[in-house]
Amino acid sequence: MSDRLTEVSRYFIPPDLKQAKRRGKEEVQVLQFEAIPEDMREIGRGKHYLIKTYGCQMNVHDSETIAGILQSMGYSPTDREEDADVILLNTCAVRENAEDKVFGELGRLKPLKVERPGLILGVCGCMSQEEAVIRRILQQHQYVDLIFGTHNIHRLPFLLKEALFSKEMVVEVWSKEGDIVENLPKARQDGLKAWVNIMYGCDKFCTYCIVPYTRGKERSRRPEDVLAEVRELARKGYREVTLLGQNVNAYGKDFTDRTYTFAHLLDDVRKIGIPRVRFTTSHPRDFDDHLIEVLAKGGNLVEHIHLPVQSGSSEVLKRMARKYNREQYLELVRKIREAIPHVSLTTDIIVGFPGETEEQFEETLSLVREVEYDSAFTFIYSPREGTPAARMEDNVPYEVKKERLLRLNRVQDEISRRKNEALRGQVVEVLVEGESKKNPEILSGRTRTNKLVNFRGPKSLIGQFVQVRISEPLTYTLKGEWVETESVAGAGM
């Protein structure tokens, strides 16, 4: 790290990917978020903030925490950049294009900052955990006021104060394994569906992935804290919670004082009166029989599992260090389908991993045909500095990778279409979320299996569970008709 870096802030500890890879025996601390200091509680009175969020649900929920902290300091939200006194970019580092977008955005925001020097422009999230990113911001975007890492969110009141009163860029990025901070204020965006962290970090170290470096080691929130949060959400009238972790199936493995796994947690959440419970993301490796058994109890545990496979080739899976092979994955799918016959499965797939041959890619196609996912997120492999895969020889030309992605998407689209077609004429339970984005005359909501349904109905249905007959299945969404007489709140329990 250059001296300039250490000079910019007395708080600065440079993020270090090598150090991030080490996983110590250090015990995870559970800290309590302290009340906002008196002199900062009114600091945002009459002022506005705007947070732009990139990346996964973890980041979406972190933005709700950041918003909660800012609101506790008196700030109010705005959608208009020109009205904002604080603009934060909550960034994602998972692929290069995610990072490019953020640098593009920083460039675009420069004139606004020049015009209004009092504006605080900040960068947080996963990119700020990367040394190269910090360097680049210091060199090319000196007008940024504040950078803070994924372990530093709870420190925002102090950092913001520092940024408001200092002329230097304030940088605080702890390159550490991570603690757990409870009692963080949260300004949830939605009154119906809520994200709930059950664990932080990831210890899987898939060879292509930056997340274990940007998010620290796997650490689980205590069950009593998670359950209390879900109960509170149920009491407030939330209709759905999604339990969040990079690898939720590893939940509880870090407890030293008890045996309590993800299956135990779901079994307890199942008894709370919240109509729908989802979770993401499941790593196939840790998906055990007990978990399948609990999921098969149904009720508020919906029949949808996102089960990233990444590749259909055992050889590629090995080089990805996914710790399962094609046969084990297919066996898991078989067991899940046997226990939960109407389950909807979705997945993530990477094409063009270093050295992926045509035959290996075709194994992915054949696995997709065999499993018949309801839908899939598909990506072209993107090398991430500091990860083992970035050092592997990559002999697959970019054109070939692009073509593989197209071929894969064609196969998956056809399956998605066929799966949706099977719902034609069926009546499904929909949680009505609001007006459709494209047409305010149309309402939109989701099935238990997380499929988007559009239909006509009165606005009073928003927030309710209704029955909808599917009249026109499409590839990515379903069109339907509201079945008026059958509407019941909390149906499907």
From 100, 95, 101, 94, select the one nearest 52 (Cα to Cα). 101
Which of ligand F3S, ligand SAH, ligand SF4, none sits in contact with 381, Cβ below 5 to 8 A by type?
ligand SAH
What phi and psi, each to the nearest 5 degrees, are found at residue 71?
-65, -35
| For ligand SF4, the closer CB: 179 or 203 | 203
Backbone phi and psi for residue 35, each to the nearest 5 degrees, phi listed first: -55, 150
Cβ contact 266:301 at 8 Å: yes
Confirm or reject binding of residue 47 to ligand SAH (CB under 6 A). Answer: no
Length of the chain: 493
According to CB under 6 A, which one of 379, 455, 465, 482 is a site residue for ligand SAH? 379
Contact between 123 and ligand F3S (CB under 6 A)?
no
Say how far residue 386 (Cα) sits from the centre of its chain. 22
Binding partner selected for residue 205 from ligand SF4, ligand SAH, ligand F3S, none, CB under the kind-specific 5 to 8 Å limit = ligand SF4
- Under rule CB under 6 A, residue 20 binds ligand F3S: no
Given candidates 202, 277, 408, 423, which one binds ligand SF4 under the rule CB under 6 A? 202
Q: Pick the closer one to ligand SAH by CB: 211 or 317.
A: 211
Closer Cβ to ligand SAH, 44 or 212, answer by number: 212
Q: Which segment (131-139, 173-181, 204-212, 251-259) binds ligand SAH by CB under 6 A?
A: 204-212
x/- track of binding to ligand SAH for residues 226-265 (CB under 6 A): --------------------xx------------------
SS3 94: coil
Instruction: Select the residue whose beta carbon is closest to ligand F3S and give its number.
Output: 55
Touching ligand SF4, residues 446-465 (CB under 6 A) = none
Q: Is 92 annotated as a binding residue?
A: yes
| Binding partner at 184 among ligand F3S, ligand SAH, ligand SF4, none, C-beta below 5 to 8 Å by kind | none
Break the chain down into helix, strand, coil percent, rounded to 5.
Answer: 40, 20, 40
Among ligand SAH, ligand F3S, ligand SF4, none, residue 55 binds (CB under 5-8 Å by kind) = ligand F3S
The residue written with tokens 């065999």 in the block is: 370
Distance CA 60, CA 58 (A): 5
- How many chain residues touch ligand F3S (CB under 6 A)? 13
Q: Is 247 in the site for ligand SF4 (CB under 6 A)?
A: yes
389 scored as a contact of ligand SF4 (CB under 6 A): no
Element (H, E) at 478: strand 477-482
Residue of the chain from 134, 171, 194, 206 that contacts ligand SF4 (CB under 6 A): 206
User: Taking CB under 6 A as the rule, does residue 384 contact ligand SAH?
Assistant: yes
Regarding 213 and contact with ligand SAH (CB under 6 A), the answer is no
Among 20, 86, 146, 211, the residue binding ligand SF4 under the rule CB under 6 A is 211
The pair of three-digit structure tokens given for residue 477, joined into one six-digit string: 């969404």
Please report the beta strands in 55-172, taking only residues with DSSP state E, as ranges in sequence order.
Answer: 76-77, 86-91, 120-125, 146-148, 170-172
Residues 90-119 that bind ligand SAH (CB under 6 A): 94-95
Detail the DSSP E strand segments found in 21-93: 30-32, 48-53, 76-77, 86-91
User: Which residues, 6+ apart, have CB-to-CB distance to 169 below 8 Å?
Assistant: 8, 9, 138, 142, 144, 145, 146, 147
In whole angstroms, what is the distance from residue 109 CA to residue 137 CA? Answer: 13
Q: Which of residues 90-109 bind ligand F3S (CB under 6 A)?
A: 92-94
Whether 124 has a binding-site annotation, put simply, is: no
Q: Which of 211, 292, 371, 396 binds ligand SAH (CB under 6 A)?
A: 211
Q: Which does 379 bind (CB under 5 to 8 A by kind): ligand F3S, ligand SF4, ligand SAH, none?
A: ligand SAH
Given 47, 204, 239, 278, the residue binding ligand SF4 (CB under 6 A): 204
Three-class SS of residue 86? Answer: strand
* Cβ density class 289-326: b for 16+ within 10 Å, e for less: eebbebbeeeebbbbbbbbbbbbbbbbbbebbebebeb
The correct pick among 36, 48, 59, 300 for binding ligand F3S (CB under 6 A) is 59
CA dihedral of 387, 352, 56, 130, whole degrees rounded to 10: 30
- By the 8 A CB rule, do 168 and 183 touch? no
H or E element that contains 220: strand 219-220
Q: Do you find a cis peptide bond into 207, omega within 30 degrees of 0?
A: no
Q: Cβ of residue 431: shortest distance to ligand SAH, in angstroms?
A: 24
d(CA 23, CA 21): 6
Q: Using CB under 6 A, pick the residue from 20, 44, 50, 55 that binds ligand F3S.
A: 55
CB within 8 A of 459, min separation 6: which ones? 435, 443
CB closest to ligand SAH, residue no: 348
Strand-pairing partners, residue 50, are 87
Residues lying near ligand SF4 in the complex (CB under 6 A): 202, 204-206, 209, 211-212, 246-247, 283
Residues making contact with ligand SAH (CB under 6 A) = 94-95, 208-209, 211, 246-247, 281, 283, 308, 310, 348, 350, 379, 381-382, 384
Residues annotated as binding site for [4Fe-4S] cluster? 56, 92, 126, 202, 206, 209
